[in-house]
Structure 1
Amino acid sequence: MKQTLIENKGLPTSLLWALAIIAGITVANLYYNQPLLYNISQDLQVSEFRTNLIAMVTQIGYAMGLLFIIPLGDLYPRRKIIIVNFSILIISLLSIALSPNLELILLASFFTGLCSIMPQIFIPIAAQFSTPDTKGKNVGIIVSGLLTGILGSRVVSGIVGEIMGWRFMFFAAAVLMIISCLFLLRIMPDIQSNFQGKYKDLMKSLLQLIKDYPVLRVSALRAGLAFGSFLALWSCLAFRMEQAPFYAGSHVTGLLGLCGVAGAMTASFVGRYVRKVGVKRFNYIGCGLILLAWTSLCFLGNTYAGIISGILLFDIGMQCIQLSNQTTIFSLNPKASNRINTIFMTTYFAGGSLGTFLAGSFWSLYGWNGVVGAGVLLIGCSLVINLFFKKEIA
């Protein structure tokens, strides 16, 4: 049943959890391919470098969707945006499942990324309509849903890819999108737009927001670089696990995603303590944990203990960085929450695309040590930005 929402007056618990669950199911589309890259490479008889472009193109598509589609949430009813995006998403997932060659998969993967942006419409809803005291916690719940989707996608796709083949996973994903769309249209309240004007004026306002808020620029950049380091690991982990001494299939790579449960459990905690601990401190903690993760992956990367401990540290560190920065930016201008989230998340996934590309390139040239080097470089840049930026609002 649809509900009427009033800004800063609270979000019904049932709606909040429904949005969190659907956010997880939708964001999973971005990550199904990661444990399956080796399977796709073998099936289509293409190189690992070219196959790795699937993950990169998906992230680029998502960044483009964040930049050009999410701002529409301030201009048009969000229900209309949901219908169009889910329709395209269903077609693109089916196209991947039926594709006879890599070129069509790349094109469909771009549109899959482009239209998997629903979670980034839900997060501003949680921020805009929650009470001030529950804003951080509620945003954390939505982010926990995202994390669960990310983790679950890798586990499920790895197992399904091993048993049913990689194409079956994308057929199943299309069915999940049909179910999610129908349910979301039933529960999503009608939310009035916050921007009066044309689309070109809306896009111009993004530049003004970037100019007006230094905190937004820095928060987006340091989080994006950290996410690039994160995806450097996941975009090449399937190739690493296929080699000695592991010789592991896609199901093992997927199951390693379960290690990130620690990160999902951290999200709500970080959301509660952003103001108390401070964004800058959370970024130091996050960068430190990720550097420790790469140390484990470098020196203990030939053991399951080293791989698992690295993933655990990575997921917790990423939540410290992402959620502290993302929660903070929503306090800058609540009326422009969709556009502010657009700037943040576009930068975030542009960083992810950069990390995926660098990792794929360095893997081809230098193997696993090259991937570690790319990841350390990116998180090091994030740490430097955090060191030199002084102003924070939390």
Structure 2
Amino acid sequence: MTKTTTTKTQAPTVLSQTTLLLMATACGLCAGANYFNQPLLNSMVQHLHISDAQASSTVTMAQVSYGLGLLFLVPLGDMLERRRLVLTLMLLAACGMLLSGISGLAGSFALLAAGTLMAGVFSVAAQVLVPMAATFAAPGTSGRAVGLVMSGLLVGILASRSVAGILSDLGGWSTVYWVGAVATALMALLLARALPKAAPTSVVGYGEVMKSLGALLRQHPRLRSRALIGGTGFATVSVLFSSMALLLAGPGFELSDLMIGLIGIVGIAGALMANVAGRMADKGLEQHTTLAGAILMLLGWLCLWLGGSSIWWFMLGLLIVDGALQALHISNQNVIYALAPEARSRINAVYMTTYFVGASIGSALGSWAWLHHGWNGTSLMGGILGLISLSMVLWDRHLLTVQTRRLTL
């Protein structure tokens, strides 16, 4: 009761459409920064004189560090003034991008690694902005506000690879980091003027907040199953993210960073599945959506395997895999947010941490498969992880059946 009262008294301001658009753009910049490197791996290999494995490791670094930020920094949104927290995180993320940009001038992989890790940890500012959109939305419009901000985050992730490829073609692979650092810092300054102050909603200490994450995981079996569906699903796609640039820049295709980035635009069409999945979830069909997403993921990897020698099969596989991931992700969120409405932020922290831990594991496995077994091995690894994701979906369906039986007894 106290928490609800606190939230209402701290939210007299209603966010304008302009402010929501700024927040959506900020989310896109923050989240997208972790994907800048994916179409640039071959250029990094050539200019920094590093191995394919070292270049691919930056994909893993970005995802691991983002996962750590989700786990250890996002819960601070319940304890600290959120506007100041968002601005601090964004400026620190901009500093990380700046380090990555400097690494291009210095020819230093160590600086690139440090910048990637720093930007990854602090780019979780996006996950603090999303609940702020709901808190300060006009009455009856919180869903639309969150949807707008989340759409900015999603488009940022999907478009970042294309933007990185285009800027690399114009000014070298490190150009996107210079542009990203400046744009993120400027966006932080704009948000400093636009965002209202958001006082802490909880007086619980950091230790208690962290303990509650484990308690939620123990109390809700379907939080565990849905988190694993998300983690294994994103792991499957991350196998592709960590190796696609190396395939497309290699002897079979010999595409430039620009062309690799433009191919990434295909993934934006896959984002349309998010709207379809959302509408199906509203109709109570999230179980069907989840199963369809897992099956489509396997079909997508079959197309990607054929895409080792055909750009058209590759693009079709990319489209299907991106769409399948959105189907899994949106249906997962619909399920977990209903488990404990009073603890949605903490539940989101548990889910998203698992999501990005899965991504980091998938990136590492994808890099290993590419290094030792080429595209055939990479495709096999993607298919194996897709089967594991499907098994998690079937486990979740079993948990739901058991839960329903208990309620009817």
| TM value normalised by structure 1 | 0.92
- Which is further off, 381-390 or 28-37? 381-390
Tell me: CA distance 1:232–1:136, structure 2 relative to 1, closer, same or farther (3 Å): farther
Letter in 2 for 1:338: S
Are 1:26 and 2:33 counterparts?
Answer: no
Partner AA of 2:30 in structure 1? T
2:65 is aligned with 1:58: no
Q: Distance in 2 between matches of 1:296 and 1:305?
A: 9
Tell me the residue number matched to 2:166: 159
CA distance in 1, matches of 2:9, 2:266: 37
Mean Cα displacement is larger for which, 138-147 or 165-174? 138-147
Instruction: Report the Cα offset of residue 212 of structure 1.
Output: 1.6
Whether 2:291 is the aligned partner of 1:291: answer no
Shift of 1:38: 0.8
Write the mapping of 1:124-135 to structure 2, written as runs, cut at 5 A: 124-126=131-133
RMSD over aligned CA atoms reads 2.4
Partner Cα distance (1:37, 1:381) in 2: 28
Cα distance in structure 1, aligned partners of 2:279 and 2:39: 33
**Structure 1 counterpart of 2:74, which letter?**
I
How many Å apart are 1:279 and its aligned residue? 2.5
* Alignment partner, residue 379 of structure 1: 386
- Counterparts of 1:1-394 in structure 2, within 5 Å, are 13-99=17-103, 100=106, 101-126=108-133, 138-389=145-396, 390-392=398-400
Q: Do 2:22 and 2:187's aligned partners in 1 also have CA atoms closer than 8 Å? A: no
SS of match in other structure, 2:243:
helix
Contact 1:362/1:371, CA 8 A, preserved across alignment: yes
Which 10-residue stretch deviates more, 16-25 or 221-230?
A: 16-25
Cα distance change on mapping 1:282 and 1:297 into 2, 3 Å: same
Tell me, yes or no, if the aligned pair for 1:144 and 1:265 is still in contact at 8 Å.
no
Runs of 5+ unmatched residues, structure 1? none
Structure 2: which 5+ runs fail to align? 1-7, 405-409
Q: Which has the larger radius of gyration?
A: 2
The CA deviation string for residues 254-279 of structure 1, in whole angstroms up to 9 with x for no partner, is 11111012222332332233131432
Distance 1:357-1:201 versus aligned 2 partners, 3 A rule: same
Contact 2:26–2:184, Cα closer than 8 Å, also in 1: no
State, as a whole percentage, how many aligned pairs show the same letter.
33
Give distance in 1, aligned partners of 2:134 and 2:290. Answer: 21
Structure 1 pair 186–327 and aligned structure 2 pair: CA distance change class (3 A): farther
Relative to structure 1, is the Cα distance of residues 133 and 302 closer, same or farther in structure 2, using a 3 angstrom cutoff? farther
Shift of 1:66: 0.2
Q: Is the 8 A contact 1:136 1:274 kept in 2?
A: no
1:156-196 CA-partner distances (Å, limit 9, x unpaired): 11111122001221111100111110122222233343322
CA–CA separation in structure 1 for the residues paired with 2:343 and 2:217: 12
- 1:31 is aligned with what amino acid? Y
How far residue 133 of structure 1 moved from its aligned partner, in angstroms, is 7.7
Relative to structure 1, is the Cα distance of residues 104 and 300 closer, same or farther in structure 2, using a 3 angstrom cutoff? closer
Distance change (3 Å), C-alpha of 1:130 and 1:181 = closer
TM-score (norm 2): 0.89
Which whole-Å CA distance do the structure 2 matches of 1:226 and 1:135 have between them? Answer: 28
SS of the equivalent of 1:64 reads helix
Q: Aligned partners of 2:25, 2:318: CA distance in 1, in Å?
A: 23
Structure 1 distance, partners of 2:9, 2:322, is: 33
**Does structure 1 conserve the Cα–Cα contact (< 8 Å) formed by 2:24 and 2:149?**
yes
